[in-house]
Chains A and B, each alone.
Chain A
Amino acid sequence: MYLLWKAPEVKIQRMSALTLVALAGTLALGACGSDNNTGTTGSNGSGSTGTAGGAASSADCPSGTVSAEGSSAQKAAIEEAISAYQDKCADATINYNATGSGAGIKQFIAKQADFAGSDSALKTAAGSDGKIEQAEADKACASPAWNLPMVTGPIAIAFNVKGVDKLILNADVAADIFNAKITTWNDPAIAKLNPGVTLPSEPIKVFFRSDESGTTENFTKYLKAAAPTKWTADPAKKWSGKGEGKEKSAGVSSAVKSTEGGVTYTEWSYAKDNQLGIAQIDSGAGAVELTGESAGKAVAAAKVTGTGNNLSLKLDYATKEAGAYPIVLVTYEIVCSKAADATKGKVIKGFLESFSGTDFQKSLTDMGYAPLPDEVQSKVATAVAALQ
C-alpha cells in the first residue's frame, strides 16, 4: 500500500483550500461535542453534568464510569437498562460491550471488566486448563464473586419457509434438523407435527453460530436434555451439529432472513427484529407459542442453586409442563460482592438495583425477553442490596 502515494497527481488549488477548510472543521468539532442526548424533551438548562439540577436524584445517584462486557444475548436489554439508569443519574456512565459470555468472564477475571454478563454461571468445576472459574473470579475480586440472574431470554428456532407462518416442532425433530438427519421441509416427521400445513419440498438450510456462544451452549443443553437419543454431543459453546456457520446472532438471523429454507436458533429479540418465523415447541403437552409468559413459566420452574447471594438457576430443559416454552437462557451479571473500587461499586449497585427492579423487568417483554419470575426477582433484589 505504501507505494500508492506515488500515483500521478493533479489537484486544483480550490481543492486544497477545500481540504484545509474540512480539516479545520474536523478539528473545530473538538470544541462542541456533547453526551447530552436527552434532546428536545425538556432538559433543564444545566445540561449533562448538572448536579445542581435535580437535588432529589443526585442524593442517591452515584457518579463514575463502569465498564462491563459479555453476553450478546442481553445486549438490547442491558442497553435499555443503561439508558434508563443514566437518564436518572446523569453522572453515572456504564459501558457494555457485547463480546460474548466467555469473553466477559475472561475480561472480568483479568480485571478488564468491572462486571461481566454471561449466559452461564461461573463454573465450579475445573475446566480443561485445570482452573476453576468461580475460584479465579473470587481471586480477581478479592471477595466472593456473585452470579446474579438478571435477564431471561428465550431462544427461538427461527425459520424462513415460503408460505409457512406457523410451524410446530418437538425436541426430537429439532435435533434431527440441526443434525442434518432431516434435510427437507416436507419430511414426514415435520409433516406429522404440522397437520394441515403445506410444507414445501425445499432443502433445509441450517445456520449455526460460528463464534463460541452461550446461546449455542444453552440450545444444545436443551437438545441434549429433551432429546437425549437424538442429540448425543455434549453441550458446549462451540457448535457440534451440522450446517453453515455465521458470525454472532446478527449473522445467523440475517442469513436466515435472506435464505429461503433457512433455519437457526437465535435469541427471541433477533428473530423478532428480523421478522422471522418462530417455531412453536411441543414438549408433549401441546404446542407452545413463544411469548414472554410461556418463557417465564419455564424460568419459574427453575431451581435456584448456589449459596447465599450467589444465585444460579438450574433450568429444567426437559420440562413437560403445559404452556411452558422450554428453550430459555438466563443471562447472569457476574459481580464482585465487595467492589475493589468503592466509587464503581456504588454505580454497579445502583445500576443493578434499577435493572432488577420489577418495573424495568416488566418492560423487557417488548424487546424479546421474559421478566424474571417474582421469586427469583426478590432473591436477586436481596443480593443486590447486599453488594458492597
Chain B
Amino acid sequence: MSHTATATTAANDPDSSGARHRDPLFTTASGGRKTKDLIAKVVMWAAFLLALSPLVWILWQVISFGGQNLMQSEWWTHSMRGITTRREGGGAYHAIMGTLLQGLVTGLISVPIGVFTAIYLVEYGRGRLARAVSFMVDILTGVPSIVAALFIYALWVTTFGWNRVGVAVSLSLVLLMIPTIVRSTEEMLKLVPNELREASLALGVPKWKTIASVVLPTAFSGIVTGVLLGLARVMGETAPLLILGPYTKNINFDLFSGNMATLPTMINDERQYLALPAAHDRVWAAALTLILLILLLNLAGRLIGRAGAVKA
C-alpha cells in the first residue's frame, strides 16, 4: 500500500478514518497513539455539543416564553399604548419600527463615511495620513458602546441643549458601526484583483472611474454583506439606548422629536415587572423578535455575499 495514495484519500476525505488503518512508518506505541486520537475525536465532538447547549437553551427559553405572543397578529400591528405592565395584550410594532428606523439612519450615515474611508485606505492612502486613519479606525473599534453614548450625550444634550431623540441614538451607533464597515469594506476591496484595476487604467479610464465602475461593483456584494452584518450587530446594542433613547409605548416615526421606542428599550422597560405573567411573556417575546430581526439581517447579508462573491 502506497503511503502517498492513502494520504491523498485521507486528505480528500477527512471524515474517513483512513489515517488509522494504514501501516504507518512508526508503529511503536500505536495503541497509545490510537487512544489519544480517539480521545481527541471525542473531545472535539463534546466541545461542539457543549457550544450548542447554551444556544439551544437560550432559544428554547426565548421561544417557549415569547413564542405565544408572536403568533398573535396584534403583536406585529399594535403598540403598547394604554397597556400597562399588569395588562395582557399590546404589541411591539412601535419598537420594531423604531429599531428599523434608527438602524436605517445609522446605516445611511455610517455607510458613506465607512466605505469612503476604506476606499481611501486601499486605493488612495499612502504615508502618514493613511497610517493615522488606519490607527484611528483601530481606536474606534475599541470604543465601548457606553462611552460612545456618553460622548454623544455630552455633545447633543449638554453642549447643544437638544432633546434626546432617535437621531441621537443613531449617531452613537454610527460611532460603533463605522469601524466595522471600514474593516469589512477594506477586506473586500483588497480582494478585487489588481489586474482589473490595471486593465481599466491602461485603457485610459481615470482612476476615480476605475474605482467607481470597476472596483466597487466587483466588491459590491461583499460590502453590502459587511454593512448588513454590522447593522445586525448595532441593532442589538442596549447601553447607548439607555442613555440616549427614552422609551415610549406609542408609535413615533419622527426621528427628530419625541421619544422613540426600540426593542432593547422595550425589553428593558418590561423587565422591571418580570414577576408579572403578562410582562414576562412580553419581555421574552420582544427578545425573540429582536433575535429574529438580527437573524434576518444576518441571513440577508450572507445571501447577498454569496450571490456575488468576488472571484479572486
Contact = CB atoms under 8 A, between A and B. Distances in A.
B93 interface: yes
A34 B251 CA distance: 8
Given A4-B229, A67-B246, A250-B272, A33 B83 contact: no
Contacts of A257: 275
Interface of A: 1-7, 9-11, 15-16, 19-20, 22-23, 26, 29-30, 32-39, 48, 65, 67, 69, 72, 75-76, 79-80, 82-83, 86-87, 93, 95, 97-99, 110-112, 248-250, 253-254, 257, 270, 273-275, 367
Name the 3 nearest CB pairs between A and B, nearest first: A33-B93, A95-B248, A79-B84
B79 A37 contact: yes
A1 to B, nearest CB: 6
Given A37-B79, A97-B247, A5 B184 contact: yes
29 contacts: A2-B230, A4-B229, A5-B226, A11-B302, A19-B296, A19-B299, A23-B296, A32-B77, A33-B78, A33-B93, A33-B97, A34-B93, A36-B78, A37-B80, A37-B83, A38-B82, A48-B81, A65-B250, A72-B272, A76-B85, A82-B82, A97-B247, A99-B242, A110-B157, A112-B164, A248-B272, A250-B271, A273-B275, A274-B275
Interface of B: 76-87, 89-90, 93-94, 96-97, 100, 157-158, 161, 163-164, 179-180, 183-184, 187, 222, 225-226, 229-230, 233, 242, 246-251, 258-259, 269, 271-276, 293, 296, 299-303, 305-307
A20 to B, nearest CB: 8
B301 A5 contact: yes
B76, B275, B299, most chain A CB atoms within 10 A:
B275
Contacts of B184: 2, 5
B83, B225, B272, B300, most chain A CB atoms within 10 A:
B272
A95 B226 contact: no
A231 to B, nearest CB: 28
A137 to B, nearest CB: 16
A99 B164 CA distance: 14
A95 B274 contact: no
A2 B183 contact: yes
Contacts of A75: 85, 272
A15 B100 contact: no
Given A1-B233, A34-B78, 15 more contacts: A2-B183, A5-B184, A5-B305, A7-B302, A20-B300, A33-B251, A37-B89, A67-B246, A79-B84, A83-B82, A86-B82, A93-B248, A95-B246, A98-B272, A270-B275
Given A35-B251, A97-B246, A253 B163 contact: no
Contacts of B273: 76, 250, 273
Nearest to B78: A34
Chain B binding surface SS class: helix
A257 B274 CA distance: 12
Contacts of B179: 2
A33 B253 CA distance: 11
B300 A19 contact: yes
Contact of B229 (A5, A22, A80, A367): A5
A36, A95, A270, A367, most chain B CB atoms within 10 A:
A95
Contacts of A33: 77-79, 93-94, 97, 251
B80 to A, nearest CB: 7
A249 B249 contact: no
Given A32-B77, A257-B275, A11 B306 contact: yes
Contact of B96 (A7, A10, A29, A112): A29
Contacts of B275: 250, 253-254, 257, 270, 273-275
Contacts of A69: 246
B249 A95 contact: yes
A16 B76 contact: no
Contacts of A112: 157, 163-164
B175 to A, nearest CB: 15
A29 B272 contact: no
B118 to A, nearest CB: 11
Given A11-B303, A67-B259, A98-B272, A35 B89 contact: no
A37 B305 contact: no
A15, A20, A26, A37, most chain B CB atoms within 10 A:
A37
Contacts of B164: 112
Contact of A37 (B78, B86, B259, B306): B78
A29 B163 contact: no
Given A29-B93, A34-B93, A65-B258, A95 B247 contact: yes
A112 B307 CA distance: 47
B273 to A, nearest CB: 7
A274 B97 CA distance: 32
B285 to A, nearest CB: 15
A72 B85 CA distance: 13
Given A2-B179, A97-B246, A19 B303 contact: yes
